[in-house]
Amino acid sequence: MARKQGIIDCDVHPYPTSIDEIKHYLEQPWKERYSGAGRGMYNNPVNNGRMDARTPSGGPSGSDPAYLRRHHLDVYGIQYAILMPRAFCNWLPDPDFATAIAAAYNQWLADKWLDNNNEDGVYKGSITIAHQDPLAAAKEIEKWAGHPHFVQVMTDSGSRVAFGQRQYYPIFEACQKYGLPFAIHPGTDSVGINDAPTVGYPTHFIEWFTLLSNSFASHLVSMLTEGVFERFPGLQVVLVEGGVSWLAPLMWRLDANYKALRYEVPWLKKLPSEYLRDHVRVTSQPLERPNNDAHLLNILDAMDAEHILMFASDYPHFDFDSPKYAFPKLPDALYQRIFYQNAKEFYHLE
């Protein structure tokens, strides 16, 4: 049964009720070693989830598909929810362990959220990969590419090197082959084997959290200047939960530098910013909201939000953005593009 046209939420986080749900899908020795997902000290020191999103039985926020429907999807008229599990496997030095965790999360997501509790197809999934082993990641993409409800590949922005580097080509090749966007989500920056996107390592969560957009800027500039979109012309990338307002001035700076230094990157066929509409999307949460709404509307216009911005709530996290209050009043056509049409086209949804 199809739901009526409404909102497409591009960042909803499902969680297991307990680590035993994930352990069920792990073989030894990984089952014994696995102690749950996390990102070290870089968590909200008070609470990372909305208390009202906890299940009626007292389970973790985002762990019950039926309650998530009632508490979030039905309240706001959400037609599709793009699910982004938080495996936090991208900080581990052992690529085999990381790959096993990613595979377990994918099977769990399919069993609990996509193949069951999803009669109307409202839940769409993300294939979690461990980018430490790009060849194994490509095999994991291939395994799930034919599933009707997996619509993208996802990984953390935390990494050893920027994603434009050629060791990641097997991942992009698989994404292009199967028509699956490559989604980057924050989570393991500065953790484990991953470099910090800052000068040194952040001291507090507020510092780490505020500067997450640095990772996204680094990955995007790397992919643009390394010519990833020329090498993989069918590849699409979505930057999830990395902020919004930084994009336009970064592209202005990059375009200006390209005009002076284009001899260094002769594989680029056009201005770096001109690749965005065909290849890159950005989600709205967290949306930097100035006191003057006119300033935000100017930012949206400068970044071509009409074509590249997609709504995200980040449910059920503490910094959740309500569809009702995230934006100032938008022109009807722009609202329709951000809250529905851009994601419908990007994910090829009916």
- In tens, the pLDDT along 284-306 reads 999 999 999 999 999 999 999 99
Residue located via tokens 């309650």: 67
How far are the Cα atoms of 105, 113, 127, 347 from residue 84, in angstroms, in the given order?
10, 11, 8, 14
Q: How many CA atoms lie within 13 A of 128 on its CB side?
A: 25
Residue pair 149/123 in contact by the 8 Å Cβ criterion: yes
Interval 296-324 mean pLDDT? 96
* Cα–Cα distance for residue pair 68/199, rounded to 1 Å: 39
Listed by start position, the domains of the chain span: 7-346
Which tens digit of pLDDT belongs to each residue from 35-89?
987 877 788 877 667 888 899 988 999 999 999 999 999 999 999 999 999 999 9
Give CA–CA dist 237/181, Å, rounded: 5
pLDDT at res. 110: 98
**Nearest C-alpha neighbor of 286 from the set 204, 229, 216:** 216
Counting Cβ atoms within 10 Å, is residue 116 exposed (0-12), middle (13-18) or buried (19+)? exposed
- C-alpha to C-alpha distances, 72 to 76, 98, 172, nearest whole angstrom: 6, 31, 33
Angle separating helix axes 134-144 and 169-178, nearest 10 degrees: 10
pLDDT per residue as tens digits for the range 18-37 = 999 999 999 999 999 999 87
Extract long-range pairs of 56-64: CB within 8 Å, 24+ residues apart: 59/17, 60/15, 60/16, 60/17, 61/15, 61/316, 62/12, 62/13, 62/14, 62/15, 62/315, 62/316, 63/14, 63/15, 63/16, 63/17, 64/17
What are the helix (H) ranges across 280-331?
293-302, 305-308
What is the C-alpha separation between 18 and 72, in angstroms, rounded? 21
Q: What was the pLDDT predicted at 3?
A: 46
pLDDT of residue 187: 87
What pLDDT score does 2 carry?
Answer: 44
How far apart CA 12 and CA 62 sit, in angstroms, is: 8
- Average pLDDT rounded to a whole number, residues 250-261: 98
Look up tokens 């020329």; give the residue.
Answer: 230
pLDDT at 165 over 50: yes
- What was the pLDDT predicted at 1? 39
Percentage of residues of the chain with pLDDT beyond 90: 89
Cβ neighbours, 10 Å, residue 65: 19
Q: What is the mean pLDDT of residues 196-207?
A: 91
Q: What is the pLDDT of residue 98?
A: 98
* Contact between residue 59 and residue 150 where contact means Cβ atoms under 8 Å apart: no
Residue 45's pLDDT is 76
Percent of the chain with pLDDT strictly greater than 70: 98
Nearest to 52 by CA among 316, 288, 330: 316
| Cα–Cα distance, 169 to 329 (Å, whole number) | 41
Q: Please compute the mean of the pLDDT values over residues 200-215 and round it to a whole number.
A: 93
Residue 134, preceding bond cis, omega within 30 degrees?
no
Query: Rounded to whole angstroms, how far apart are CA atoms 59 and 19?
Result: 12
pTM, entire model:
0.96
At position 83, the amino acid (one-letter code) is L
User: Which residue matches tokens 């499902």?
Assistant: 14
Quote the mean pLDDT of the chain.
95
pLDDT of 251 reads 98
**Segment holding 42, helix H or strand E:** none
Domain 7-346 has CATH 3.40.50.80: no
pLDDT, tens only, 92-147: 999 999 999 999 999 999 999 999 999 999 999 999 999 999 999 999 999 999 99
